Chains A and B, each alone.
Chain A
């Protein structure tokens, strides 16, 4: 008994001196001092893929928040449903991959529209009520996924592009990731064009900036809300669909994603689309580099602390233009 205590006390005192994350970062960078250009480049390539997916997720959250003032906690589950749709249509029923991705987009968009009509519309302008409702949706979607595919090992979605491309000696990226990256960037560009070049996009931004003024201008708020929710859900579904061959497709896969999406959204300035995209890119690099050189836990911890810092110092976000309540 006594012996056990002595050992425990020794552990404690040595652990007390254990340095904190920044110091660890320093030590690890030293440890990797033989760090090669290859490693940096490969990490940069990994970062780009991460960034594009962070952006897709964050843009949807921002659209929904901007127009309805509701934070969609079930956004990660919409992403999960996108991945499950591809698994079900493509892997289990033999649809062509691209058709399955489009199918996933349609399914998740419809779920989004349904959520808007039944759950979010009565809660517009009431952040907490909307949040609670989205938690209800989160549970329901998880259970549906379990019922469809069971629990246990992850669902297998065979990559339609199995090869990989060597960019430089020692730096390579799977073709699946390249394809997903191209589609994700294309989608973001399309969305940007839609929001800046079309009347509907203009109306959506107007509602997002000041819904009362927009309503006075004769913009139909309900229609715009459905548009925002449909688009927001659809992009989350597409992100899940595109990533399904590369990730762990399981009922709880939305959980880790939503935290990252929150960090990006808040730091970018909640309600700011350009802010979300820019921060998604920066955070994708930050997260991937810290994960490569230190650890994923430290990367997540630092991300959360950055978010907290931004909330305290500049609650409108680093880039955000939208005024907070």
Chain B
């Protein structure tokens, strides 16, 4: 099994490395932003492992973008320091906010995170320090020393794509390892049996905070990567509309598996580009798709294989049942996999 996994990941990466050369110029930009968004949705999923959905992830992404841009612009800090610091500031902000926010749960947490996120975003727009509504302009691009070539300015799409791909892959690796470590399993346990986990001595607050802080760190990194590529950021880029899109990607993709959100963001982004010509109809496609997924695949697209397996098994069962003339032994469950998140009807 692991061998098959390694092979398939190898194939995907080979394709990803070759891809930019097959793409048109503006599609390369599309890929850069898509890869950044992959980091955003996968880190968001870490949050959801503990059972909490927040509406502040994109604002923390913005916090990383603002930190890195302002450090690079005002004191001329190198990208290689400002970008991780963007992640650190987003993580620290999350740590600070975890004290008030984790007094709430579920829906209240969702709305609370929205309130504080929107307040932070409005402060960027209000205070001149953050550049006001027009934001920060002329953010420098990263420079990298390449032996033989000297100092290189990485701003063209293909080099930046590789840079982003490398950093995002590292992030994904960390997130993946984390999920399959003891910590990740504990996080999952919290979601399942909050009271039970607490009764056996698990400090649920600590694990929730950990998930929130780590997720925010990667959101901040994603924001910094975006800022140094586009060269300008403004508060509107990190508003609740963007957050809603992230939420949709994650939910359509599904949060049960590591790859679920990735499927969501990739499929929906491509769909979005396909409907580029029909500008005004794009949100309609999103809306209908969202309702359809909620109706028919409430655990997201990543529950589809399970559903199919389930359907096949049921069909087999019913065939054999017909032959034997008994009632089926199994009740038809909604999904082949255990449903870890309660987005769908419960």
Interfacial residues, chain A to chain B (CB-CB below 8 A): 5, 8-9, 11-12, 15-16, 18, 71, 119, 122-123, 125-129, 131-133, 135-140, 142-143, 146-147, 151, 255, 259, 262-263, 266, 295, 297-298, 300-301, 304-305, 307-308, 311-312, 315, 324-325
> Is A312 within 8 A of B291, CB to CB?
no
B139 adjacent to chain A (CB < 8 Å):
no
Evaluate whether A143 and B129 lie within 8 angstroms (CB atoms) in the complex, with A304-B118, A312-B104, A315-B108 already known: no
Can you list 9 A-B pairs with a CB-CB distance of less than 8 A?
A11-B128, A126-B346, A127-B106, A129-B342, A139-B290, A140-B287, A301-B119, A301-B126, A308-B115
List A contacts of B244 (CB < 8 A). Answer: 135
Give Cα A259 to B244, complex, Å: 14
Give Cα A308 to B114, complex, Å: 9
Give Cα A324 to B106, complex, Å: 11
B294 adjacent to chain A (CB < 8 Å):
yes
> Is B281 within 8 A of A143, CB to CB?
yes
Evaluate whether A132 and B290 lie within 8 angstroms (CB atoms) in the complex, with A143-B283, A301-B122 already known: yes
Give Cα A298 to B123, complex, Å: 8
> Is A128 within 8 A of B115, CB to CB?
no
> Is A311 within 8 A of B74, CB to CB?
no
List A contacts of B159 (CB < 8 A). Answer: none
The 8 A-B residue pairs with the shortest CB-CB distance, nearest first, are: A139-B287, A15-B129, A136-B290, A143-B284, A127-B107, A140-B287, A139-B283, A136-B291
Interface of B: prevailing SS? helix
Give Cα A15 to B126, complex, Å: 12
B345 adjacent to chain A (CB < 8 Å):
yes
Q: Residue B73 contacts which of A8, A15, A137 (CB distance < 8 angstroms)?
A: A8
List B contacts of A119 (CB < 8 A). Answer: 291, 294
Residue of A123, A132, A305 contacting most chain B CB atoms (<10 Å): A132
Residue of A5, A140, A262 contacting most chain B CB atoms (<10 Å): A140
Question: In the complex, how many angstroms separate the beta carbon of B157 from the nearest chain A beta carbon?
Answer: 25
B110 adjacent to chain A (CB < 8 Å):
yes
List B contacts of A126 (CB < 8 A). Answer: 342-346
> Is B119 within 8 A of A129, CB to CB?
no
B20 adjacent to chain A (CB < 8 Å):
no
Q: Residue B123 contacts which of A12, A147, A151, A301 (CB distance < 8 angstroms)?
A: A301
> Is A129 within 8 A of B343, CB to CB?
yes
> Is B280 within 8 A of A259, CB to CB?
no
> Is A311 within 8 A of B108, CB to CB?
yes
Give Cα A132 to B286, complex, Å: 12
> Is A300 within 8 A of B122, CB to CB?
yes
> Is A123 within 8 A of B345, CB to CB?
yes
List B contacts of A307 (CB < 8 A). Answer: 111, 115
What residue in chain A is nearest B133 (Cβ atoms)? A297
Q: Residue A146 contacts which of B111, B114, B280 (CB distance < 8 angstroms)?
A: B280
Interfacial residues, chain B to chain A (CB-CB below 8 A): 53, 70, 73-76, 100, 103-108, 110-112, 114-116, 118-119, 122-123, 125-129, 241, 244, 247-248, 251, 280-281, 283-284, 286-288, 290-291, 294-295, 298, 342-346
Interface of A: prevailing SS? helix
> Is A324 within 8 A of B108, CB to CB?
yes
> Is B118 within 8 A of A298, CB to CB?
no
Question: In the complex, how many angstroms separate the beta carbon of A299 from the nearest chain B beta carbon?
Answer: 10
> Is A304 within 8 A of B122, CB to CB?
yes
List A contacts of B291 (CB < 8 A). Answer: 119, 133, 136-137, 140
Q: Residue A304 contacts which of B70, B119, B129, B346 (CB distance < 8 angstroms)?
A: B119
What residue in chain B is nearest A137 (Cβ atoms)? B287
Give Cα A12 to B76, complex, Å: 13
> Is B115 within 8 A of A297, CB to CB?
no
> Is B343 within 8 A of A315, CB to CB?
no
> Is A122 within 8 A of B128, CB to CB?
no
Question: In the complex, how many angstroms separate the beta carbon of A16 from the nearest chain B beta carbon?
Answer: 7
Question: In the complex, how many angstroms separate the beta carbon of B319 from the nearest chain A beta carbon?
Answer: 30
What residue in chain B is nearest A295 (Cβ atoms)? B126
Give Cα A262 to B115, complex, Å: 9
Give Cα A131 to B126, complex, Å: 30
Question: In the complex, how many angstroms separate the beta carbon of A242 from the nearest chain B beta carbon?
Answer: 26
What residue in chain B is nearest A142 (Cβ atoms)? B283
Q: Residue A139 contacts which of B115, B123, B126, B286 (CB distance < 8 angstroms)?
A: B286
Taking A126-B345, A312-B104 as known contacts, 20 extra A-B pairs with beta carbons closer than 8 A to each other, sorted by chain A number, are A12-B70, A12-B129, A16-B129, A119-B294, A126-B342, A126-B344, A128-B53, A131-B110, A136-B286, A136-B288, A137-B291, A139-B286, A140-B291, A266-B111, A300-B118, A301-B119, A305-B116, A311-B115, A315-B103, A315-B104
Question: In the complex, how many angstroms separate the beta carbon of A193 from the nearest chain B beta carbon?
Answer: 30
Give Cα A139 to B105, complex, Å: 27
What residue in chain A is nearest B53 (Cβ atoms)? A128
What residue in chain B is nearest A306 (Cβ atoms)? B115
> Is B107 within 8 A of A128, CB to CB?
yes
Q: Residue A147 contacts which of B122, B280, B287 (CB distance < 8 angstroms)?
A: B280
List B contacts of A295 (CB < 8 A). Answer: 126
What residue in chain B is nearest A24 (Cβ atoms)? B126
